[in-house]
Amino acid sequence: MTGHPGDLGSLLDLGTRLGAHSRSERLGLALHSARSLVACDGATVLSAYRRGFERLALGPGSPMPREIEPGSDAAARWMAQARGPLLIPDLEAKTPMRADGCPGVDAGPALFVPIRSRSQATGYLALVRERGQAEFTDHDARLATLLAAWASLAIENLRLAERIEKLAITDDLTQVYNYRFLKTSLRREIRRATRFSQEMSMIMLDVDNLKAYNDRHGHLRGSYLLKRIAQLLSQNLRSFDLIAKYGGDEFTLILPQTAREGALVVAERMRVAVQDSEFPLAPRGAITISLGVATFPHDAGDGMGLIRVADLALYRAKQSGRNRTELVGRDAA
């Protein structure tokens, strides 16, 4: 059984270790600290994540935590109503929660403490000892509660940092990436395409006659229209494609590992998706988009050149009657 009960130096050290870890790393750090602070043979942590739960375990002889099944409904029910630590003399004898031990440990004494966020239980930290070992004490429970509070703070800080980062790279209106992130991503994808001798395409598009729609129905309706179009475009992209807001009603799509022919297929799919969709206060087919396609390295050898060519192709589409996709070669740029 590992651990050094009362080792407050380890607990104080946790306060300086909130910054440089991912979510799983922070939960893993909580498990390692639990085994250091409170003598136990195994520890697990359950934490709400997205629309489900993530559960990690650190068993005997295991240097790294590993992900395991979420656990039993009994533990989930306890967690939802928990007001404080739960000390269990023999986990194996407490049948409803037998599945909530730590793999590799023949669990006897167990200690569960809730992890809280905004006054709600969002998970728990569980420590177990081998059968025949001493039961956990109130002092152990207090230390584990401090660890659970640290874990909650660590996860919340990470969530806030991710939220701030998202705000910095996201367009407020449409919730797609903004121009700043577009420039960074374009440089990265150009480098990648160059390194692996791959093609990469870009699509620039804007909404036809948006000004007339705004004049007729107001800018609030126009803003909703742009948001809805952004959603439609996102739904028709691959997971590794990127969509960003370029200007007032312009969007830019980056399509890695995509030749000109593939980009034309994507552009036409986008055009038809918008043309065939219904929008408020407009008959089907009244709202359309025009698109321009450019491909690296054939149309341009750098990111800004690619934007210029795609923008010129978009201009050609607008001049040729709108609701269409156009190309422009290097010479025309």
Which segments in the chain show pLDDT lower than 50?
Answer: 5-7, 12, 16, 20, 330-333
In the prediction, which pLDDT does 311 show? 95
In the prediction, which pLDDT does 118 show? 73
* CB neighbour list of residue 142: distance below 8 Å, 6 or more residues apart: none
Please write the tens of the pLDDT for every residue from 200-251. Answer: 999 999 999 888 999 999 988 988 999 999 999 999 898 889 999 998 889 9
DSSP per residue, 174-218: T-SB-HHHHHHHHHHHHHHHHHTT--EEEEEEEETTHHHHHHHH-
pTM check: above 0.85? no
Report all structural domains of the chain as residue ranges with CATH numbers, in order of start: 8-167 (3.30.450.40), 179-327 (3.30.70.270)
d(CA 59, CA 127): 10
Q: Is 162 helix (H, G, I), strand (E, B) or coil?
A: helix
| Residue pointed to by tokens 């669990």 | 107
Compute CA distances 17 → 12, 29, 54, 217, whole Å: 10, 9, 21, 53
Sheet holding 325-327, edge to edge: 242-245, 250-256, 200-207, 289-296, 325-327
Q: Where are the beta strands (DSSP E) in 210-322?
A: 242-245, 250-256, 289-296
In the prediction, which pLDDT does 190 show? 95
Phi-psi group of 251: left, alpha or beta (phi > 0 → left; psi -120 to 50 → alpha; rest → beta): beta
